[in-house]
Amino acid sequence: MLNKTRGRPRGNPDTRARIAKVARELFLKHGYPGTTVRAVAAAAGVDSALISYHFGSKQGLFSQSLNLLCVDPTALDQALRGDQAGLADRLLDSVTDLWDATVPAENQMAVQDDDTMRALRDYLDGELRLRIAEFLDGPDATQRATAAVGVLGGLIFTRYLNPIRSIGGLSPADVRRVFGPALRAALHGRPRRA
Amino acid sequence: MLNKTRGRPRGNPDTRARIAKVARELFLKHGYPGTTVRAVAAAAGVDSALISYHFGSKQGLFSQSLNLLCVDPTALDQALRGDQAGLADRLLDSVTDLWDATVPAENQMAVQDDDTMRALRDYLDGELRLRIAEFLDGPDATQRATAAVGVLGGLIFTRYLNPIRSIGGLSPADVRRVFGPALRAALHGRPRRA
DNA sequence: AGCATTATTCAACTGTGTTGAATAAAACCC
DNA sequence: GGGTTTTATTCAACACAGTTGAATAATGCT
């Protein structure tokens, strides 16, 4: 396509990094299905086969270029160390801190990628829920932790994955204000008996 | 492909309905990208072009065969009529009533369809949020309604769209128990002042 | 009966992700 | 420092996806 003389190029240009960079931008701008491997290749000035070579597959390109986390692990560690009263706010902050940085507001990404969904699911249901349950430690701790990940999942979903205006438009402080009561109730409220 | 003599068939078989039925099953079982138009056509014993003819496009097939609603409108009307105390429970029930019926538990659908996402978003942000705000009517009513759709969106997301085990496995009664405190706080709690 | 409409298959087109062969620079070895 | 292996790249092609246009046969209308 682009007659760039076959074979290895001069110098050692980090083509892989360049591809990852433009891929990241395109994925955030157009979403997963809306971004074609060929478009990424063209934007990086490279043959599309090179992407399979470096990243294995389109899914590989996606996860390796975007590497999304749900919550910054160190932020979570800190959130799970302070007093119980401020826990909700700290959790909310650790979500907005990470996602607001990686998913800029104007790039409304409708993430539609299997691997990402799976990763998010596993993280919410596994790590996050268990850590919260352990921190809460009281009667109904696991049930309350489940409620909490439900609320946090709702925040992630309605603000980043399928952003609805009235929530996507909030500032991080607003998020604390709006989601605070619900999350506090989920964490500390008493689920009614069966 | 299947030598079924060209042209219109004898009788008036409702082929369109048959296609919609098998499409629904396949979409629920394999998700949107995992279901090919050709596979639906094959399962319905029909040429794939017929699907474009009847439904316009794959997206059309999806929305018209699955026609998802977020909340049953009449159920919502009833939920928004009773006393404030039971509102949270009634809202939760109207979600589980509809979705548990249309998305059977074993069919974990990871909905990844643009139109559906858009519809869900518009519904949550428009209709549902406004109706709730109007019903609440007090100071911060819109802010509390926003929080409520955040929580309900979380339920829909973590139970149906990207179902995590600890929430997908709950009975509708459990859902009331687990999400009740958070939703009640969202609806009636006082958001802290700025 | 005749004509327009509708439902269907077939063949083809474009675009997508991926793979195998060819090629040239870099890295390693003795 | 020359020879070999490894790595990075382009090119050509494949298989499959969704969609479209033409051909065809049954139905419905007048």
pLDDT single digits (tens) A114-172 = 667 877 888 899 889 999 999 998 889 999 999 999 999 999 999 988 889 999 999 99
- B166 vs B174: CA distance, rounded Å: 11
Q: Does residue A109 contact residue A26 with C-beta atoms inside 8 Å?
A: no
If you search the block for the tokens 């002042």, which residue do you land on? B193
- A73 close contact with B: CB closer than 8 A: no
- B151 vs B144: CA distance, rounded Å: 11
Nearest to A111 by CA among A75, A165, A159, A169: A159
Nearest to A1 by CA among A39, A36, A37, A46: A46
Q: Does residue A31 contact residue A1 with C-beta atoms inside 8 Å?
A: no
* pLDDT band at residue A193 using 50, 70 and 90 as cut-offs: low
What does the DSSP 8-state code read for residue B84? Answer: S
DSSP A92-153: HHHHHHHHHHHS-TTS------HHHHHHHHHHIIIIIHHHHHHHH-STTHHHHHHHHHHHHH
Give the per-residue pLDDT at A110: 58
What does the DSSP 8-state code read for residue A158? Answer: I
**How does pLDDT run across B98-152, given as a tens digit for each residue?**
888 877 665 666 565 666 787 788 889 988 999 999 999 888 999 999 999 999 9
Q: Cα Rg for chain B, rounded, in angstroms? A: 20
Closest-CA residue in chain A for B194? A177
Q: Which residues contact A104 (CB under 8 A, 6 or more apart)?
A: A28
In chain A, residues 87-146 whose CB comes closer than 8 Å to chain B = 110, 112-114, 117, 120-121, 124-125, 129, 142-143, 146
The number of CA neighbours under 13 Å toward the Cβ of A165 is: 7
Q: Residue A37 pLDDT > 60, yes or no?
A: yes
Give the per-residue pLDDT at A125: 92
Which pTM does this prediction carry? 0.83
Question: Region B61-74: what's the mean pLDDT?
Answer: 82
Give the per-residue pLDDT at B155: 96
Minimum-distance nucleotide, CA of B52 to C1': D19
Instruction: Round to a whole number and report the distance in Å from the CA of B58 to the C1' of C5.
Output: 25
Give the per-residue pLDDT at B110: 58
**Cβ contacts (< 8 Å) between A189 and chain B: which residues?**
181-182, 185
- B192 vs B190: CA distance, rounded Å: 6
Task: Give, as ranges, the nucleotides of chain C with any atom within 7 Å of a protein CB.
Answer: 6-11, 15-27
Q: Does residue A117 contact residue B162 with C-beta atoms inside 8 Å?
A: yes
Q: Residue B55 pLDDT > 80, yes or no?
A: yes
Give the per-residue pLDDT at A119: 78
Nearest to A164 by CA among A102, A117, A108: A108
Give the per-residue pLDDT at B4: 82
Q: Do B194 and A186 touch (CB under 8 A)?
A: no
* pLDDT band at residue B44 using 50, 70 and 90 as cut-offs: very high
Q: Does residue A83 contact residue A1 with C-beta atoms inside 8 Å?
A: no
Amino acid letter for position A165: R
SS3 for A157? helix
Give the per-residue pLDDT at B71: 78
- A91 vs A180: CA distance, rounded Å: 10
What does the DSSP 8-state code read for residue A33? Answer: T
Give the per-residue pLDDT at B109: 62
Q: What are phi and psi of B94, to 5 degrees?
A: -70, -25
The helix or strand, by DSSP H or E, that contains position A145, with its residue range, turns out to be: helix A141-156
* From B110, B158, B165, residue closest to A114, measured CB to CB: B110
Give the per-residue pLDDT at A17: 97
- Residues A63-91 as b/e (b if ≥16 CB within 10 A, e otherwise) read bbbbebebbbeebbeebbeeeeeebbbbb
